[in-house]
Structure 1
Amino acid sequence: MKYFNADDIKQMHHLYRINLINSCTGYKSANLIGTKDKNGNSNVAVFSSVTHMGSNPGLIGFFTRPTTVIRHTYENIKETGYFTINHINSSIIEDAHHTSAKYAKTVSEFDTTKLSEIYKNDFFAPFVDGCKVQLALSFLEEYHIKANDTILVVGQIEGLYVDNTALVKDGFIDLSTINSATINGLDAYAVPQKNTRLEYQRPKAGYKTRDEK
């Protein structure tokens, strides 16, 4: 097994380091975040940092890079207070990845790809048409990460759309049935084909539980 210590990582060529560190945590969620500014300019961009933060209330977070350069997604969210999260599936991977290109604010990625924006239930921000899981969120709060100058954006779920074929009786969303994609590193996409669900785990007989220690 190849070993890298902290000095090895620090001295790496920057592209090698970026690829290594971005992929060492394993598969990440693959999502498109849709926003719109007050002038009606829509934006959609790929993010691999979306994460669950709580179920009651339903909170979702994502990290955005430093704002030392223009970040249209972040700016639109702060300006309007609304955004959507849309699962990337196998049929839109190439167009979804292209949304990482740096266009001017007045150029919508919906116009430069085959992705289509759609509006639902009078929600301000655009959804991505054809995505099998879509979330409507309102901006709640943000946290500045001093270590690398990134920002954790926290949103509250205002609405959730799930394809009927993926929704299981107990509320579980089986992403393998709708070809939801994941991201490995920065630019590699995978489509899981199977889920293995396990029961809630309880201590084995004969061992102390946490309350007994």
Structure 2
Amino acid sequence: MLHINSESIEKMESRYQANLFNTISGFKSANLIGTADKNGKTNLAIFNSVIHIGAKPPYLGFILRPTTVERHTYENIKETNYYTLNHVHESFIAQAHQTSAKYDREVSEFKACGFEEEYLDNFHPPYVKESKIKLGLQFEEEHLIKANDTILIIGKILHAYLDEKLISKDGSVDISEAGTVTISGLYEYLKTTKLKKFKYAKP
């Protein structure tokens, strides 16, 4: 078995190291985050770092890379306090991946990448109409991660839209049935297959 230690990590070529440690942690979620500035100019970007923070009340977090360059998603969230989170499905993975390109501020990734903006219940930023599971969130707080200058953004779920058939009797959402994909690393998209659902574990 290969042994990778801190000394060998320091000697790695940078892109090789990035690919290695972006995949070694396992599969990650695939979500499109939609935002709009105060004038309604929209932005859409794919994120693979969305994590569950809590359920009551419902909070989600995501990691934002260092703000050493323009981060339109971050700037719009800070300006308006609201954003949408939209699941990525197999039918539009190429379009979703394309949102990671560095478009100018004047260009909306919704239009550039072929997505339709959807405005629901007077919520300021748009949802991705093509997504089967979409959430509207309110910015709550941010935390600087000093180790690498990334930022943990935490938002509260205010709205959720999905087919009622995807919700089981116990409240669980069947994201596999929805066709939500997952990501390995930065560039590889995969389907999910349900293996087994267990009961709540007790001693």
User: Could you say which TM-score interval applies, normalised by the shorter chain?
Assistant: over 0.9
Structure 1 residue 135, shift from structure 2 partner: 0.6
Structure 1 residue 201, shift from structure 2 partner: 1.5
The separation in 2 between residues aligned to 1:10 and 1:57, in whole angstroms, is 42
The separation in 2 between residues aligned to 1:198 and 1:137, in whole angstroms, is 30
Residues 179 and 193 in structure 1, CA contact (< 8 A), matched pair in contact too: no
Q: State the match for 1:202 in structure 2.
A: 202
The separation in 2 between residues aligned to 1:195 and 1:51, in whole angstroms, is 22
Structure 2 unpaired stretches of 5+ = none
Q: State the match for 1:100 in structure 2.
A: 100
Structure 1 unpaired stretches of 5+ = 204-213
The separation in 2 between residues aligned to 1:116 and 1:7, in whole angstroms, is 48
The separation in 2 between residues aligned to 1:168 and 1:201, in whole angstroms, is 19
Q: Counterparts in 2 of 1:62-101, with a 5 A limit?
A: 62-101=62-101
Q: State the match for 2:14 in structure 1.
A: 14
The separation in 1 between residues aligned to 2:164 and 2:202, in whole angstroms, is 32
Q: Is 1:193 the equivalent of 2:193? A: yes
Greater shift, 163-172 or 62-71, is seen at 163-172
Residues 138 and 155 in structure 1, CA contact (< 8 A), matched pair in contact too: yes
- 1:195/1:34 CA distance change after superposition, 3 Å: farther
The separation in 2 between residues aligned to 1:34 and 1:105, in whole angstroms, is 14
TM-score for the superposition, normalised by structure 2: 0.98
Equivalent AA in structure 1 for residue 118 of structure 2:
I
User: CA-to-partner distance for each residue in 1:131-166, whole Å, 9 max, x for gaps?
Assistant: 111110000000000110000000001111122332
The separation in 1 between residues aligned to 2:199 and 2:172, in whole angstroms, is 13
- Greater Rg over alpha carbons, structure: 1
* Large movers: runs of 4+ above 4 Å: none
The separation in 2 between residues aligned to 1:94 and 1:165, in whole angstroms, is 27
User: CA-to-partner distance for each residue in 1:69-100, whole Å, 9 max, x for gaps?
Assistant: 00000000000000000000000100000000
Considering only aligned residues, what root-mean-square deviation do their CA atoms show, in Å? 0.9
